[in-house]
Amino acid sequence: MNLTSETFDSLAQTSWYEHDVLAGATVGLVGVGGIGAPGAVQLARLGVGRLVLMDPDICEPSNLSRTFVRSDLGKYKVHAVRDEIARCGLGTEVLALPGDVAYDLSWGMVSRLDLVVGALDNRAARVALSRAAWRAGVPLVDTAQDGESLTALARVFLPSGTGACYQCGLSAADYRYIGRNVPCTREDPEVPRLPTTGLEAGVAAALLASLTARVLLEGPETVAGMEYRISLGDYSFMTTRLQRNAACRFDHRTWPGEAATLAAPAPVGRMTLGEIADFLRTELGEGFSLHLDRDVVTDLACPECGHVNRGIAARRSDTVHCERCDEAISPPPTALRSTFTEDELRGPEFAQRTFERVLPDGHVAWAERGGEHTMISFTFEEGKPW
């Protein structure tokens, strides 16, 4: 049987379907739970050629009422979805990455996608994905659900000079919520999580797949800045045009934009901070600062012995062991930073450290010197699927 010519025959009879366009597309899908798992399968059944899946979670019994099957329990969700798509036999290539969007997805990775889709369950993760997509100049389809009202929601963000981003719609209360729900402590007892069911999740998955197809086939401009909300509670449908918020906390800059770009000679985890400083000094001159666009852990006081561990390079989800007494320390938010001066990079606390495991493959940072910004694009590890 020729899958290419026969499997998609019914789709080819529609006026909007173009198999060659979808088969040539690479779509990133971050979050493969109640919405993302069936959404990924729908994309494969539409003939999307390559899917990149990212999710850190493992299939649990509570997932079975919405998606997955009992034999998936204990597997990473991305592996379970990859296996289901493989059983469909449609020829879709799947790259399954068990990872957290806040730490493991770089602008460089997103820049290699035609479109990125979010099916996430918390605001902090949505902010991280929105920033990465906007910086990379890649359209974003964001989806959500509410089981209490049986509501499915999807919205499309296109990086542009005047368009809205996800953060444009966040309030001060939302940021306070995000501050309590950092990725390493996602549960807040004061703010109950919204219940979810497979009913509205299925509708959200259909919105995900249909908007992805439309963006790929007709261009993102046709639906950019639109929000679509369907409620199974009262069977209502509402569309809203999203507006840029002048007070948005995001600067809406894209990479590289008007800034110059430097190609680093190695992956970010293979260079010491001192070597990064030497490279930037050779290219830019003295007096620069390095900006990572994400937080890392540095100075950290041990609650057991009081020793201040300096020069640490770790993610805030990591457990750090004290250099003096080996006590396990969970980094508090006050230990985070994202900017380093040239002197700090060259100094004794950081010069021999690396960002291995801290920053993702293909990370893009920027340097500032004299008010001018220069993007630094780190290479990908050889042999990695990216």
Task: Locate the domains of the chain by residue range.
Answer: 3-241, 260-377
Give me the amino acid identity at 168. C
Give whole-number Cα distances, 237 to 120, 122, 189, 196, 202, in Å.
22, 23, 32, 19, 15
Predicted pLDDT at 255: 81
Distance between CA atoms of 51 and 95, rounded to whole angstroms?
Answer: 6
Predicted pLDDT at 1: 40
Q: Which residues are CB-neighbours of 349 under 8 A, at least 6 positions away?
A: 310, 311
Closest residue by Cα to residue 136 from 49, 227, 257, 230: 257
Give me the amino acid identity at 15. S
| Length of the chain as a residue count | 386
Both tokens of residue 216? 């790929």
Residue with tokens 């509501």: 151
CATH topology of domain 3-241: Rossmann fold (3.40.50)
Under a CB-based contact definition with an 8 Å cutoff, are residues 50 and 23 in contact?
no
Can you name the residues that pair with 154 across neighbouring β-strands?
Answer: 143, 228
Q: Which residues are CB-neighbours of 339 under 8 A, at least 6 positions away?
A: 289, 290, 291, 292
Distance between CA atoms of 149 and 104, rounded to whole angstroms?
Answer: 33
Under a CB-based contact definition with an 8 Å cutoff, are residues 355 and 269 in contact?
yes
Closest residue by Cα to residue 143 from 128, 115, 121: 121
Distance between CA atoms of 174 and 177, rounded to whole angstroms?
Answer: 5
Distance between CA atoms of 1 and 359, rounded to whole angstroms?
Answer: 45
Specify the DSSP class assigned to residue 166: G
Distance between CA atoms of 103 and 125, rounded to whole angstroms?
Answer: 10
229-243 CB burial, b ≥16 within 10 A, e <16: bbbeeeeeeeeeebe
Distance between CA atoms of 75 and 95, rounded to whole angstroms?
Answer: 15
Q: What residues in the chain have per-residue pLDDT under 70?
A: 1-5, 180-193, 258, 333, 386
Predicted pLDDT at 56: 95
The torsion angles phi and psi of 75, rounded to 5 degrees, stand at -85, 155
Distance between CA atoms of 341 and 229, rounded to whole angstroms?
Answer: 46
Residue ranges in 111-149 assigned as alpha helix (H): 123-136
The average confidence (pLDDT) of the chain is: 90
Predicted pLDDT at 180: 57
**For the segment 317-355, what is each residue's pLDDT rounded down to a tens digit?**
778 889 899 999 888 767 788 999 999 999 998 999 999
Q: Which residues are CB-neighbours of 361 under 8 A, at least 6 positions away?
A: 106, 108, 109, 267, 268, 269, 380, 381, 384, 386
**For the segment 124-144, what is each residue's pLDDT rounded down to a tens digit?**
999 999 999 999 999 999 999
Can you name the residues that pair with 263 across neighbouring β-strands?
Answer: 377
Distance between CA atoms of 98 and 57, rounded to whole angstroms?
Answer: 7
Peptide bond into 256 cis (omega under 30): yes
A 10 A CB-CB count for 252 gives: 18
Q: Which residues are CB-neighbours of 368 under 8 A, at least 6 positions away?
A: 288, 289, 291, 374
